[in-house]
Amino acid sequence: MATNNSGNLQNTGIQSLNSSGVFNGRTITAGTGISMADGDGISGNPTITCTVSGGGSIITKYTSSDTWTPDASAKMVLLILWGGGGGGGSGRKGLDGSTRGAGGGGGGGGFGFYFIEASRFSGAQTVTIGDGGTGGNSQTTNSTGGNDGSAGNNTSVGSFVVLGGDFGNGGTTSGGTGGAAVNSLINSQVVAEDGDGRTGGASTETPTQAAAVVVNMSPTGGGGGGGLDSSNNIGNGSAGGDFTDVASSVIVAGGTAGTSGAAGGAGNVPGTTVDFLNGGTGGGGGGGSTSTNAGGGGVGGSPGGGGGGGGASKDAVGNSGAGGNGGKGQAWIVEFL
């Protein structure tokens, strides 16, 4: 037979029935990180509210210099930095019967990846975005070597810095040397030396393509320009460095190589060709010419691609190709709240 325990019921509120058949009043209490209203259920339904903030993130992308003020609730900060790419060198303008070297491609800018406690930052921080280096000017004077490009500029957030890319040398009676690689950094540890520019062609030999970067966020270097040999045979430029996967499949291509008298193609910008986090690719080298102005080097893609080298030209006919400018750096800041 059922037992009627109604006499044991409390008048109001939350009740529990124990093993002896007795009802007892109960109250829901708040633990850490929550608040409670009407925990005993007398005045209304219990309401539980979470009082702990956090779990979100703030992403800010800088393409020009500015000031960043950390969010007061940030716990950790991720800095992703790219330096400006180096400018390519221009080609030589020279006589028939001589070897006329093309300009070397600029090196890709450095890459930095820093994951640090937000407490390392005190107040507003200066964000400096490194401009790409300027390509060497076209050579307009007969029997004169090409002009060097200029190095890319550093990118920094507060005291955290990555280097700009090295410049490409102008062509002489041999091809101009490509910009050397600069280090990539993860939490201040050197992890790679990527983004070297390609040496310009010394004669009709087409310089090899600038080195690819494999599954890394570093920018790539610019391609070297095409030179001329003593018989006025014409060399083509080389392509800028690709961004590839581990199977050597191209994810983001470098700038295209310039053929006879044609300019090298601009390096590519990540995001316009593929949804992937990586640096810009290098510009292609310009082609040499004996009948007109030589081709200029392509501009490096942003962030940080190296500029292509300019092609060589013949005296009294046309000017040498200018070096391409390096791609500008960037800074991405992710705050974890």
CA-nearest of 145, 95, 136, 125 to 317 is: 95
Which are the contacts of 6, defined by CB distance < 8 A and separation ≥ 6?
A: none
pLDDT at 250: 85
Confidence of residue 10 (pLDDT cuts 50, 70, 90): low
**Alpha-carbon gap, residue 170 to 148, rounded angstroms:** 4
pLDDT at 247: 79
**Alpha-carbon gap, residue 164 to 326, rounded angstroms:** 9
Higher model confidence: residue 289 or residue 201? 289
Question: Both tokens of residue 76?
Answer: 């950790």
pLDDT at 2: 45
pLDDT at 94: 96
Confidence of residue 164 (pLDDT cuts 50, 70, 90): very high
Work out the average pLDDT over 97-121: 92
Work out the average pLDDT over 132-155: 97
pLDDT at 233: 92
Work out the average pLDDT over 90-97: 94
pTM of the model: 0.81
pLDDT at 270: 78
Question: Both tokens of residue 223?
Answer: 């391609």
**Total residues belonging to the chain:** 337
Higher model confidence: residue 31 or residue 88? 88
pLDDT at 275: 55
> Among the listed ranges 134-143, 210-219, 282-291, 313-322, which one has the minimum average pLDDT value?
210-219
How much of the chain exceeds pLDDT 70, in percent? 78
Work out the average pLDDT over 199-205: 63
- Taking the CA atoms of residue 199, residue 253, residue 88 and residue 204 in that order, the dihedral angle to the nearest 10 degrees is 40
Is 22's pLDDT higher than 90?
A: no
| Listed ranges 45-54, 184-193, 265-274; the one with the highest mean pLDDT | 265-274
Mean pLDDT (the chain, rounded)? 85
